[in-house]
A and B are shown apart, each in its own frame.
Chain A
Amino acid sequence: MTPVSRTDSARSWLMFGLGLCWLFVLLWPLLGIGADGVLSFAETFAVWGRIAAAALVCMVVWRLRRSGSLGFLDAPAGSLRDGMARVAAGVPRPVWLIALAALALSFPLYTERYAQDVAVLVLVYVCLGLGLNVVVGLCGLLDLGYIAFYGVGAYTYALLSIHYDLSFWLSLPIAACLAAVAGCIIGYPTLRMRGDYLAIVTLGFGEIVRILLNNWMSLTNGPNGLLGIKSPGIYLPSLADGFSFEHLYMRKLEYLYYVILVLAVFTVIAVRRLNFSRIGRAWEAIREDETAAEVMGVNTFLLKLLAYASGAAFGGLAGVFFAARMRFVSPESFSFMESVMVLAMVVLGGMGSIPGIILGALALIALPEAFRGFELYRMLAFGGAMTVMMLIRPAGLIPAKRMGKRGEEAE
């Protein structure tokens, strides 16, 4: 062993030890201080010991790989991976899409209510994440109040449904337009700002909307929320007496799953088309260098406003579905934490990357569910998982591909 690698090894073991000590310091106040002021160490050591043992195994494997002792495993693993990649690349794209569609369509057939519930939630966040991606990922405007547009959409449908008995499907475009208008209202005065300032202003806007919903008793019924929102309805052909159409409210979760699936697919297609259009390229140019884009003849203000409005419209669509699914809306669903979650999905999944964001939404919704076994430590495990993900893949789970997509490459 050369001296260099020996110090390297010593260093990583030292860091490993320090990390574990630090974890203990973090853990003990949570577990060791009892309600009546009794200090105990047993429980902390039990939890910490398990984590330390797991970490030790990971560390040993990692060190062995580094020193090449696991070389005999690398060759077969590598060829296996190459073989898999070859097979995957050999299957044409339509086959993948059809397989994915079949999986998504048949999902309710082989799952329980709980899994469907999680799937519906994931799809709602896919819509939100993709909408925010237009603003943050493509145009580079940090928006910390995105959930406000979700709220605008949800309350639009709630009010239209309760007071005017308007159908879900008609409310979709109306809510999308209203959310886009809300996007313009916030965008118009603030888009002259750049970077951090914009983030603060959008944060403020998000809170304004929530507080407005909370206090405008005559319209929104304040913190009590609005009840009695109708589910999406469809007309089914019926042969009961002659041929007629029968109106049916889709209350069952399977039906709602298909509704949000349609919305999510629509969002994916729309965002994809925007991304690879002339406007999408201009958005990316603005993200890269706003002044240069302006000097090249891009009306940056108008395009930023457009990014804001279209991002907001997708949020509005998701909001309509949310109201229809819950059949109840209240301001607490649109808190700052939700904005942060959606933003985390975009960043974690990979800014500007559509498959990345879908995976990000899946990870951020499904992981806390998967960690339910950890009970009390669920959020701790979730935070740890997020940290590890960002360390391993800093550009996101599936970083945006930058090449071979547009312009002459498409020829």
Chain B
Amino acid sequence: MSGPILELVNVTAHYGRIQALKGISLRAMPGEIVTIIGANGAGKSSTLMTICNVLRASSGDVRFEGRSVLPLSPDRLPPMGLCQVPEGRRIFPRLTVSENLDMGAFFRKDHEAIRRDKDMVYDLFPVLKERRRQPGGTLSGGEQQMLAIGRALMSRPKALLLDEPSLGLAPLIVKQIFAIIKRINEENRTTILLVEQNANLALQLATRGYVLETGKVVLEDDARALLGNPEIRKAYLGE
């Protein structure tokens, strides 16, 4: 396959009268890890929410596997293979870990395959297996992030959107989670679009990166080149 799996063309979006996205264009090739970095309020999460149609784009187009997804409602996207791990994890606190995972496979009917995928998630995150009968809300922050990722994996995504997986987690846990993101990408050839404030870690993991500032893409380059870019180092890596 040659075309991009996910492509945004000049997307704008508004919260009421405030413009959050001022013409975002980006693309992700199959099997790639693409990261979006930027400061608070740059429009990173809004970009992901617009891709999933929770926030409606005002203009522009979002294409997944060459097909525009803007006319579809958010619940139609996971069956197509586009799934999001939302910011702040947003697991279902009073459902058990196991039920949370089942919700990820809600639209699927193939019970056998769902069971196997669940075992795969438990392999990836053994702690979730230990706690599968606990309500999701009783897990620690890191475990909840694992649960949120596991839940999204249950939908067998071709492209996985991750919104700030490092948010509020201890550095050791963040490292662990990033290692698993890499593993998901390598084992399933899952395309990953990673939104992060922790630019250093994100750029080390990604193949390419976009830098967002006040709703616009200001820079686009290979992750390695961005890591070496003195301006980026100064603005986002704290040097």
Contacts and interface: CB of A to CB of B under 8 A. Distances in A.
Interface of A: 278, 281-282, 284-285, 287-289, 291-300, 402-404, 406-409
Contact of A288 (B83, B94, B152, B155): B94
Contact of A297 (B90, B94, B96, B155): B155
A264 B206 CA distance: 59
B188 interface: no
Contact of A294 (B75, B95, B96, B133): B75
30 contacts: A282-B106, A284-B94, A284-B95, A288-B94, A288-B95, A291-B86, A291-B90, A293-B103, A294-B54, A295-B52, A295-B77, A295-B78, A295-B84, A296-B83, A296-B103, A296-B104, A296-B106, A297-B77, A297-B83, A297-B106, A298-B75, A298-B103, A298-B107, A403-B134, A406-B98, A406-B99, A407-B96, A407-B98, A408-B98, A409-B133
Complex A-B, nearest 3 residue pairs according to Cβ-Cβ distance, in ascending order: A297-B78, A288-B92, A292-B90
Given A291-B86, A295-B74, A295-B86, A282 B135 contact: no
Most chain A Cβ neighbours within 10 Å, of B52, B74, B77: B74
Interface residues of B, number: 34
Contacts of B99: 281, 284, 406-407
A221 B104 CA distance: 52
Contacts of A408: 98, 118, 132
Most buried by B among A289, A297, A404, A407: A297
B151 interface: yes
- Output the residue of A285, A291, A293, A295 with the most chain B CB within 10 A: A295
Nearest to B77: A297
Contacts of A287: 94
A287 B93 CA distance: 10
B91 interface: yes
A379 B24 CA distance: 63
B73 interface: yes
B79 interface: yes
A61 to B, nearest CB: 35
Given A285-B103, A291-B90, A403-B134, A296 B78 contact: yes
A296 B151 contact: yes
B51 to A, nearest CB: 11
Contacts of B134: 403
A294 to B, nearest CB: 5
A404 B92 contact: no
Interface in B157-177: none
